[in-house]
Amino acid sequence: MGGAERRIDALERAFGPLEDPGNPLGQDALLHADSLRTVLPEAEKVLDDHGFNAEFVPVEHGGRLDRLDVLGRVLRPVFRRDASLGFGYGLNCFFAATPVWTAGDHAQRELAARLLLEGRRLAVVRHEMGHGNDFHRDEFRAVPTGDGGYVLNGSKSVIANASRAAGLVVFALTDKDDAAGRSHSVLLLDRGRLPADRITGTGRHSTSGMRSAEFGGLKVTDCPVPAEALIGRPGDGYELSLRSSLVVRGLIPSIVLAGADTALRTVMRFAVRRRPDGRSSLDVRHVRSVLTGAFLDLLLSDCLALVATRALHLLPRQMSAYAAAAAYIAPKIVTEAMDEMSAVLGGESFAEDGTYGMFQKQLRDLPVTSLGHAGSAGRQVSILPQLPFFARHAWFADPEPPPALFRPDGGLPPLDLAAPALLGDGDPLAATLVACTDRLETMAVSARHQDCLGALRFLVRRLTTELDELRTLFIRITPGDRAALASPRSFSLADRYTLVLAAAACLGVWQEQRDGTFLADPAWPTATLYRTCGRLGLPLPDRPEESERRVLAEALARLSGRRSYDLYGSALA
C-alpha cells in the first residue's frame, strides 16, 4: 500500500486546499467552472501530470491497477472536489474499459491500454439514461458481413465523453430474433481507424447534476467494423454487461461518500461558527444528531466499499450480492444524510457560490454519481434471485469470510476481473453478523467502553433475529419463481437484507481494528447499528448518547485536523 498511499497523498496535495480562496484549484474556481458547465482546465492538468488514466489500466498492460480497493481510494481526492472531473476524465473510461479487461483478447487489451496511457478517452455506448439497461431499446445495430466483420448503424443521444473519446466500446444489436438473451454483442472501436465521415456528433445535452461533464450524442451510418473488434463471442453483450457491473458497483460507495465528505465538511464549518452571542448551531441537539448521523453514514458506506472491492479479490464466487448491495444502499443512506444536512444549512443550502456553495454542487451531483434510480432498481434485481438460495443453504450455515476482507491495509491476491461469479454460491458476510452475536457475549472491553457494550449486544442480537426472519420468508419463495421475486414485498425484503449486510460489514471492520484508534472504539459501530436498526424499524435500546458524543468528537477533530470522513482519516490539503 505504500506506493498507493503516496499517489493518493500527492494527488491531494496537487489540488491544494479546497476552501482556500487563493487556490486556483479551490472551490471558488471549481464552482465558477461548474456554473459555466465546463471542467476547470487547471484541474485536468493535475490529472494529466499524475497520469491519472494509468489508475484504470491493469499493471500487466503498463498501468497501476492491481487492487480495486486502492482504485476506490485514488478516486476520492478528485470526487471530493468535482464529480464531473472524476467521471469525465477517468472513471467513465474505466467503465468503458471493464468489458475489455474482462473478456478482451491480448490485442484488444493492448489497444485500450495504449489509448488510456496516452491520456486519451474511452466511451461506452450502451444505453440511454432514460431507460437504464434495457437492451431491447438499444439504438445501435451491427449487421454481420461475409468476412467476419460488421456494418454498424444507429445513434445514441446521451454518451459520456462522446466527442472526446478516441475509443468506443459499443453494445450493439447483432441478432434481433434471439430469445435466449444473446441478442447483443460488444465491439471495441479505435475511432482513429474508422472512416471519419461515418460517425458524427449530435450535440451536447445539459444535465442538472455533473453539469461540467460532457454528455453528447453520436450517429453512425454504414460504418465498417473489422472482425477483430468483437469482444468475446457474438451474443456476449448481456453477460458482459452483468460482469462489468460486478466490478463497477464496488466503486460506487467510494465516489458517493467522497462528495458527501465535502458536503459534511461544509455543514460542519457552518455549524461550528460562532454568532455574536457566542452560541453556534452545534449547541442545538438536533444539529449534533444530524452531523453525527452523517459521519456514521459515511463510515458505513466505506465499510461497504471496503467489503465490495476486497471481495472481488478474496471471494469472487460470493461477491456479486455484496457489490450490488454496496452500490444500492450507500447512495440511499448518503442521500438521506444530505437531506438532513440541508435542513441544518437552511437557506445556505441553495447557495451556488461562496462559502457554502459546494454543498449545493454535491447535492446536485449525487444522483448522477450514484448512476440514478434505474441503477438502484437494477441492483436490487441482481440481489433478489440469490436470496432464496442463501436462505436455504447459506444463512446460519456458512463459515465466516477471511479476516483480510475487513482489513483496509491488508494484502490481497492478484486482481482477476474475469473471476467473479454472476450469482453467489454463499453468503459468508452474513456469517460475520451471526458469529459476532456470540463473540460479544464474552468480549472483554475497557471500562471506558463498557457503557456501549450492552447496547451493541442488544443491537447485534436484534439484527441476527432479523436475518433469521428473512431466512424464513425467503425459504417460502420457490427458487426461480419470478412473480414472487418481482413483488413489491420481495423488493422491500431485499432492501432490509442490504441493511443487515451493511451492519455485518461494519462489525467486521470494527473487529479487525487492533491499534487503539477511533475505529477500534465500539462507540462508532454501536451508534451506526443503532441508526441502522432505526431504519429497519426494529426495537431499540436506550439511545447510546455517550457513543454518539465520542463519534461527534471525532468528527470535530477531523474537521480541525483536516482529515477525511472515511475509514482512513486521510490528511487533506
DSSP letter string, 423-439? S-S--HHHHHHHHHHHH
Confidence of residue 370 (pLDDT cuts 50, 70, 90): confident
Q: Taking 70 as the threshold, does the pLDDT of residue 64 lie above it?
A: yes
Which top CATH class is 123-233?
mainly beta
Taking residues 503-522, report their average pLDDT. Answer: 92
Task: Specify the higher pLDDT residue, 336 or 208.
Answer: 336
Taking residues 136-145, report their average pLDDT. Answer: 76
> Per-residue pLDDT tens for 145-171?
988 899 999 998 888 888 899 999 999
What does the alpha-carbon distance between residue 405 and residue 294 come to, in Å, rounded to a whole number?
Answer: 24
Q: Which residues are CB-neighbours of 490 under 8 A, at least 6 positions away?
A: 384, 477, 484
Please tell me what DSSP assigns to residue 89.
Answer: I
C-alpha cell at 174: 447483432
Q: Taking 60 as the threshold, does the pLDDT of residue 89 lie above it?
A: yes
**Helices 27-35/357-369 angle, 10° precision:** 60
Q: Taking 80 as the threshold, does the pLDDT of residue 128 lie above it?
A: no
Q: Taking 90 as the threshold, does the pLDDT of residue 221 lie above it?
A: yes
* Residue of 122, 57, 129 whose CA lies nearest to 87: 122
> What's the one-letter identity of residue 180?
A
What does the alpha-carbon distance between residue 315 and residue 126 come to, in Å, rounded to a whole number?
Answer: 28
Grid cell 441502522 — which residue? 532
- pLDDT at residue 42 in the model: 96
**Helices 252-272/319-345 angle, 10° precision:** 20
What does the alpha-carbon distance between residue 219 and residue 173 come to, in Å, rounded to a whole number?
Answer: 15
- CA torsion through residues 384, 388, 394, 396, sign: positive
Confidence of residue 126 (pLDDT cuts 50, 70, 90): confident
- pLDDT at residue 373 in the model: 41
The third-level CATH classification (topology) of the domain covering 2-121 is Butyryl-Coa Dehydrogenase, subunit A; domain 1 (1.10.540)
- pLDDT at residue 132 in the model: 43
What does the alpha-carbon distance between residue 243 and residue 98 come to, in Å, rounded to a whole number?
Answer: 9
> Per-residue pLDDT tens for 375-427?
677 888 899 999 999 999 999 999 999 999 999 888 999 999 999 999 999 99
Kindly provide the residue ranges of all beta strands, DSSP E only, lying in 53-120, ordered along the sequence.
none
Reduced to 3 states (helix: H, G, I; strand: E, B; else coil), residue 521 is coil
Q: Which residues are CB-neighbours of 278 under 8 A, at least 6 positions away?
A: none
C-alpha cell at 562: 483536516
Give CA separation, 344 vs 348, 352, 504, 534, in Å: 9, 17, 30, 21
Q: Which range is least confidently modeled, 136-145, 253-262, 350-359, 453-462?
A: 136-145
Q: Taking 70 as the threshold, does the pLDDT of residue 137 lie above it?
A: no
Grid cell 472491553 — which residue? 445
What's the mean pLDDT when you consider all of the chain?
92
Reduced to 3 states (helix: H, G, I; strand: E, B; else coil), residue 338 is helix
What does the alpha-carbon distance between residue 187 and residue 231 come to, in Å, rounded to a whole number?
Answer: 6
Q: Which range is least confidently modeled, 23-27, 125-129, 221-225?
A: 125-129
Segment holding 165, helix H or strand E: strand 165-173
Give CA separation, 74 vs 78, 134, 187, 266, 407, in Å: 8, 31, 29, 22, 17
Grid cell 458505513 — which residue? 300
What does the alpha-carbon distance between residue 188 and residue 495 come to, in Å, rounded to a whole number?
Answer: 36
Confidence of residue 354 (pLDDT cuts 50, 70, 90): confident
For residue 368, the cross-strand partners are none
The answer to whether the beta carbons of residues 12 and 46 sit under 8 Å apart is no
**Cα end-to-end distance, the chain, whole Å:** 20
The answer to whether the beta carbons of residues 314 and 426 sit under 8 Å apart is no
C-alpha cell at 161: 465523453
Domain boundaries, the chain: 2-121, 123-233, 245-561
Grid cell 441482481 — which residue? 382
What does the alpha-carbon distance between residue 54 and residue 74 come to, in Å, rounded to a whole number?
Answer: 11
* Residue of 528, 562, 572 whose CA lies nearest to 548: 528
Please tell me what DSSP assigns to residue 81.
Answer: T
- pLDDT at residue 133 in the model: 41
Grid cell 485500450 — which residue? 112
Q: Taking 80 as the threshold, does the pLDDT of residue 176 lie above it?
A: no
The correct answer on CATH 1.20.140.10 for the domain covering 245-561 is yes
What burial class does residue 133 get, using C-beta atoms within 10 Å of its C-beta: 0-12 exposed, 13-18 middle, 19+ buried?
middle
